[in-house]
Structure 1
Amino acid sequence: MTLAREDIEFIKAHLGEWLTEQSFAKPPAVYEIELRERMVRVEEELRHQRELIQTILVQMDKRFDAVDKRFEQMQLNMDKRFEAIDKRFETVDKRFEQMQLNMDHRFDAVDKRFEQMQLNMDKRFEAVDKRFEAVDKRFEAMDKRFEELTRRLDRFMFWSFGLTVSVGALVVAAIRLWP
């Protein structure tokens, strides 16, 4: 429910009376003075509150400025630390690259050693192969000698057997012919 303009004016006109009617112990003039004193005190208190709020706002601004400075300082410190970490990572990267190069050189050296060892082993195996070839030739010569010896023994046995059979036949013929 909204109040009409007439109602608002009526309330304004009679508000003072109604308030004084409520205060039976005090006459309206005293009450009015008391109200004025209260209003003065309220205004003074409001002024004091405004001053306090302004001081608080100024202090808050100072504190916010200090916090902003701290954040800026922290940001600068963090940036410096991150730059230091970046530099450390760069040095670590350089060390890893150097280590990689050293390892590559070492592996190359090991590869060369293995190649050299392989060449040496190949030469030794070739020398051993040559020795085995010489030994094979000796064994072949020995085989030829044994074959020749076997052939000679075979002839000797054949001749010995033939001679024995011939002598046996002559002995048998001589015993038969001998009366």
Structure 2
Amino acid sequence: MALAQEDIEQIQDLIKKVMAQAPEAVNANVRYELEVRERVIRVEEELKHQRELMSEGFRQMEKRFEQVDKRFEQVDKRFEQMHQEILGVHQEIRQLIRWSFGTLLAIGGLIVAVLRLVA
């Protein structure tokens, strides 16, 4: 079964068509791969940017927490100072009450003594 010249030419044409179509498929795959790689690179860059933003946000929150901590320490010191002042005033009031009571007893005793002498 020998092939006629027409058959050979037809086979050659088909092979040329297939060979001509193959680079387009390869080029399409290469283009698709390049697009996918570019997308992956963009996603990685965006993730890196988001990570940097989150890190900066965490740093700022840490600074803010430190400031709030310092403020709480200042308020705590102020409360301690006020507590000491209140204790001082309390001591003064107790002393004043003692002196007043002692003075009252002394005056009362003097009045009783004067009344006994006079009567």
TM-score class, shorter-chain normalisation, is: 0.7 to 0.9
User: Are 1:133 and 2:50 counterparts?
Assistant: no
Give the structure 1 partner of residue 7 of structure 2.
65
Normalising by structure 1, we get a TM-score of 0.54
Shift of 1:158: 1.6
Unmatched segments (≥5 aa) in structure 2: none
Summarize deviations over 1:26-64 as a string: whole Å, max 9, x none: xxxxxxxxxxxxxxxxxxxxxxxxxxxxxxxxxxx87x9
1:53 corresponds in structure 2 to none
> What are the ranges of 5 or more consecutive residues in structure 1 without an aligned counterpart?
1-60
Q: How many residues align?
A: 116
Q: Which aligned segments of 4 or more residues in structure 1 are displaced greater than 6 angstroms?
A: none
Deviation at 1:108, TM superposition (A): 1.1
Counterpart of 1:105 in structure 2: which amino acid? E
CA distance in 2, matches of 1:72, 1:166: 139
Among 84, 87, 92, the residue aligned to 1:152: 92
Shift of 1:77: 3.8
Q: Which has the higher contact order (CA 8 A, sep 6+)?
A: 1
- Match in the other structure for 1:88: 28
For residues 132 and 174 of structure 1, what CA distance do their matches in structure 2 show? Answer: 62
- Taking the TM superposition and a 5 Å limit, the aligned residue runs for 1:1-179 are 65=7, 69=10, 73=13, 76-179=16-119
Distance apart, 1:148 and its partner CA: 0.7
Q: Which amino acid aligns with 1:65?
A: D
Structure with the greater alpha carbon radius of gyration: 1
CA–CA distance in 2 between the matches of 1:98 and 1:133? 52
Q: Please state how far the C-alpha of 1:172 moved relative to its aligned partner.
A: 3.0
